[in-house]
Amino acid sequence: MTEQTITMKSEPEDMTFGDIVWGQFKKNKMAYGSLWLLGTLFLLAVFAPVLASERPFIWQDAEGTFYPWFNSLFDHNYYENGVDKFFNLLLVLGTPLFIVWLLMVRSVTKSGVEKRIRREKIRKFSGVMVAGFMVVFAGVIITQSGQVNKYNFEVYEQLQEKGEDVHAVFPPITYNYSKQSLSEKLQQPSGKHIMGTDRKGRDVAVRMLFGIRISLSVGVIAVGIYVTIGILLGAIAGYFRGRVDMVIQRFIEIFMAVPTLIVLLVLISFIKQPSIFHIMVVIGLFRWTGVARLVRGEFYRLRNLDFVTSAIALGFSTRRIIFQHILPNALGPVLVAATFGVAAAILIESSLSFLGLGDINVPSWGQTLNAGYKTREWYLILIPGIAIFITVTLLNLVGEGLRDALDPKMRK
């Protein structure tokens, strides 16, 4: 063992609070396993078009070679909602960007610089990549391109029956989640439709697969909206106190008295074509009160501690003291609340879809459950019910594990 190795081993490890929390979280096997399963669900959502699509990867006929699957990813006539386009862009652009990010992290890690400096570089690089991705996504949404559907599995079968020289490579499941077929409605699970079909002849397996996108999007975006609002108002109330706190507290009490589900029902009754984004926004605008109260309480606790007093004495700006000094130390309870909030948002969206009040253009699990309730078909009740139960349970287990990891009394 060389002298350099001995020196490196004797140096104390540069452990941050995040490292400590992550180490404690991994000790909770149930929560850690649940996090990996949620990651698997996310990957299924991203790679859903690779697993199920009626458009072929490659199409060869007398006219030449075409790639309909790739063109369909941003086709407004094929994927109508922005959620699908976001995940499709993640599939096309996010995968190479993630590889580039991994190479960058590996390069920075091997550079030998201090750990905190490495993290700052990685954070800035990640921010640039996310900003670039969002700019491209905005461009995709604005363009709204549409194409004529000339190449799909149905056309392929017809040409094969006619004996024409056509070759195509399709995904494992050759159905689209919105493709209706009255001749195949309410078919039991079989080799052709592994989870059966609904009363409109749509493949349930495909709708369940793409439904992961809807559930995760509703949860994350809605929670992102109300966490942002809650942090801002809670931080202002807890830092300035006095009359500012009193006004914000009354504001919180007003919103706490408004039931989110009733607001959604009223809003949907006034909107001609309610979309999934209306549901996200309403949940985000009316469920921020819990986060605001958590942040306010944490700011009350931290406001008079020595590090805040020192920052004030050094003449730092109020914005810097709030967002760079106090807020990072107050985010623990917010992260836990956000995890449970994602599960709650998924349940709200599923409930609305089950009642027939959600977005009819998206493959929500609640819609499939509603179809099972109306038709009394066991598979239309059991399959989406299990999917909702598993997703919500995984999120709750992760939330409990994060709560225990952030609590010093629970550390081992």
Q: Tens digits of per-residue pLDDT, 73-107?
A: 888 888 888 889 999 999 999 888 889 888 888 88
pLDDT at 183: 79
pLDDT at 34: 93
Say which DSSP state 399 is in. Answer: H
What span, in angstroms and rounded, lies between the C-alpha atoms of 395 and 243? Answer: 38
Q: Report residue 331 CA to chain centroid gap.
A: 20
What span, in angstroms and rounded, lies between the C-alpha atoms of 316 and 306? Answer: 14
pLDDT at 211: 92
pLDDT at 209: 93
User: How distant, in Å, are the alpha carbons of 59, 96, 149, 360 from that of 89?
Assistant: 22, 11, 20, 23
DSSP letters for 5-57: HHHHHHSPP---HHHHHHHHHHH-HHHHHHHHHHHHHHHHHHTHHHHB-SS-S
- What does pLDDT average to over the chain? 85
What does the pLDDT average to over 324-339?
Answer: 85
Stronger pLDDT, 8 or 178, i.e. the higher one: 178
pLDDT at 317: 87
pLDDT at 12: 45
What does the pLDDT average to over 276-292?
Answer: 86
pLDDT at 403: 85
Q: How confident is the model at residue 169 (pLDDT cuts 50, 70, 90)?
A: very high
pLDDT at 9: 43
The pLDDT tens digits for 182-236 are: 778 888 998 888 998 988 889 999 999 999 999 999 888 989 998 999 999 999 9
pLDDT at 3 over 60: no
What span, in angstroms and rounded, lies between the C-alpha atoms of 162 and 141? Answer: 39
Of the candidates 287, 292, 293, 239, the residue with the CA atom closest to the CA atom of residue 264: 287
pLDDT at 90: 92
What span, in angstroms and rounded, lies between the C-alpha atoms of 124 and 114? Answer: 16
What span, in angstroms and rounded, lies between the C-alpha atoms of 405 and 336? Answer: 10
- Angle value at C-alpha 391, between 234 and 85, nearest 5 degrees: 80
Of the candidates 285, 290, 268, the residue with the CA atom closest to the CA atom of residue 341: 290
What span, in angstroms and rounded, lies between the C-alpha atoms of 219 and 347? Answer: 9
Asked whether 110 and 104 are in contact (CB, 8 A), the reply is no
Q: Where are the alpha helices (DSSP H) in 355-377?
A: 365-375
Within a 13 Å sphere around the CA of 245, how many CA atoms are in the beta-carbon half? 13
pLDDT at 405: 84
Lowest mean pLDDT among 67-71, 242-246, 406-410: 406-410
Contacts of 256 (CB under 8 A, 6+ apart): 289
- What is the pTM (predicted TM-score) of this model? 0.86
pLDDT at 4: 45
What does the pLDDT average to over 43-62?
Answer: 91
What span, in angstroms and rounded, lies between the C-alpha atoms of 104 and 235? Answer: 35
pLDDT at 172: 92
Q: Which helix (H) or strand (E) holds 379?
A: helix 378-406
What span, in angstroms and rounded, lies between the C-alpha atoms of 28 and 36? Answer: 13
For residue 382 the two structure tokens come to 């059991």
pLDDT at 309: 87
The pLDDT tens digits for 54-77 are: 999 999 988 888 888 988 888 888
What span, in angstroms and rounded, lies between the C-alpha atoms of 279 and 225? Answer: 12
Secondary structure, 3-state, 200-248: CCCEHHHHHHHHHHHHHHHHHHHHHHHHHHHHHHHHHHHHHCHHHHHHH
pLDDT at 410: 58
Q: What percent of the chain has pLDDT over 90?
A: 24
pLDDT at 89: 92
Q: What is the largest CA-CA distance in the chain?
A: 85
Stronger pLDDT, 352 or 398, i.e. the higher one: 398
pLDDT at 412 over 80: no
pLDDT at 257 over 80: yes
Q: What percent of the chain has pLDDT over 70?
A: 93
Q: Report residue 83 CA to chain centroid gap.
A: 10
User: How distant, in Å, are the alpha carbons of 330, 369, 402 from that of 359?
Assistant: 36, 14, 33
pLDDT at 157 over 50: yes
What span, in angstroms and rounded, lies between the C-alpha atoms of 140 and 98? Answer: 20
Q: How confident is the model at residue 271 (pLDDT cuts 50, 70, 90)?
A: confident
The pLDDT tens digits for 15-40 are: 666 778 888 888 889 999 999 999 99
What span, in angstroms and rounded, lies between the C-alpha atoms of 213 and 86? Answer: 10
User: How distant, in Å, are the alpha carbons of 110, 319, 337 from that of 303?
Assistant: 39, 14, 22
pLDDT at 345 over 50: yes
Q: At what angle do helices 378-406 and 332-354 cross, to 10 degrees?
A: 170
What does the pLDDT average to over 225-250?
Answer: 90
